[in-house]
Amino acid sequence: MRYGRLADLVRLAMQMQGRADGLSLDDIGETFDVSRRTAERMRDAIRDAFPQTEELAEPGGRKRWRLPPGTAGRLADPTVDDIAALHRGAELARQSGDLTTADQLDTLSDRLRARLPGPKRAQLEPDIAALLEADGVALRPGPRERIPNDTLNTLREAILAGVWIDVDHRARATGLLSRNARLGPLAMLLGEGRQYLVAYSDYAQDVRLFALAGFERIEPTEDVFERPENFDLSAWMQRSFGIWQEEVYDIAWRFTPETATDARLYLFHPTQVMTDEPDGSLTVSFRAGGLREMCWHLFRWGDQVEIISPPELRDAMIAHVEEVRLR
């Protein structure tokens, strides 16, 4: 039985041509979320269409398959959707203040566009403009910090090189300047609002957050920085509702029946569990810290959400409301 989804087969051909080490059946199954038998049918369909498919043997007997460069021919030409996606990514990077990534995506878009036939290039610009407008990217509002390009470039290079950096950094909360602090940079958290560097602090002997706007000097060293053993950025971030790493609580919110439909569309936290209640309300539960940031978010829902637990979050919300009322 032959595999019949043309779009998947075209994508598979692109991947088999684009990866020097080829793809295994496990790779195909994971990428396309299919069974091993379906992965075998997809591989066979590619081998039927491209007899020049190369088979590679790995130690242990596992096999991989790849296509020599140029095999897929014009199938590898970019589509309007491909280039629009790059424009979309560049615009989002630009709005978040990451101008270097935006420029790199623009350059990649130019390279892909150069591969298109003349008629397709002529229709490209209006199609891209329409797609961006439909996505709301071109008109997306929202404040963000202006981070110097040199700061982003230097930190990105240090992260890729895996070296320690010596910095002068001014704390956002206190305004105090720490001179010659030694950090092991791990990742940058970019986006709307405030932006941060995740780094290992030699002084604190732990992973901490540093506001990007607070860096007044950054000097990469020649000393190799070894990431903390078993450090997982995704798992580390999931400990918090937003940015700040605080004590973890069992969180439960209940949205009214009137707003349950809207709330169901949100991913409040990667570990969330949603429960439909008999009265039509929706209970969302997860485990995380960051009570202050939860309060900031819950303000958006007004009286359409009830804090079930923990009591510390209810108390924090009441305190914030009182602060606002007294101003």
Distance CA 68, CA 163 (A): 37
What is the residue-wise DSSP string for 204-265? TTEEEEEEGGGEEEEEEEEEEPPPPTT--HHHHHTTBSSS-----EEEEEEE-HHHHHHHTT
* Half-sphere exposure of residue 323: CA atoms within 13 angstroms, side-chain side: 8
pLDDT at 129: 66
The residues facing 195 across adjacent strands are none
What is the residue-wise DSSP string for 114-139? TTS-HHHHHHHHHHHHHHHHHHT-TT
Going 174 to 179 to 182 to 186, the CA torsion angle's sign is positive
317: tokens are: 């919300």
Task: Kindly state the DSSP code that residue 75 receives in the 8-state scheme.
Answer: G
Task: Identify the helix (H) or strand (E) that includes residue 286.
Answer: strand 282-288
Number of H helices, E strands in the chain: 11, 11
pLDDT at 240: 66
Q: What is the pTM of this model?
A: 0.52
Where do the domains of the chain lie, and which CATH numbers do they carry?
Answer: 6-75 (1.10.10.10), 77-135 (no CATH), 149-229 (2.30.30), 249-326 (3.30.70)
Distance CA 190, CA 93 (A): 8
Distance CA 216, CA 222 (A): 20
pLDDT at 132: 62
Q: Give me the average pLDDT of each 10-residue run along the chain (327 residues).
A: 69 84 90 90 88 86 86 71 81 78 87 75 69 58 70 88 94 85 89 78 90 92 90 75 73 94 84 93 90 85 92 90 75
pLDDT at 136: 57
Task: Extract long-range pairs of 9-12: CB within 8 Å, 24+ residues apart.
Answer: 9/42, 9/45, 9/46, 9/49, 10/75, 12/42, 12/46
pLDDT at 169: 95
Distance CA 92, CA 89 (A): 5
Residues 6+ apart with CB under 8 A from 159: 185, 186, 187, 188
At 171, the amino acid letter reads: A
Residues 6+ apart with CB under 8 A from 4: none
User: Strand 282-288's sheet: what is its strand order?
Assistant: 273-276, 282-288, 249-255, 305-309
Q: Are 195 and 212 in contact (CB under 8 A)?
A: yes
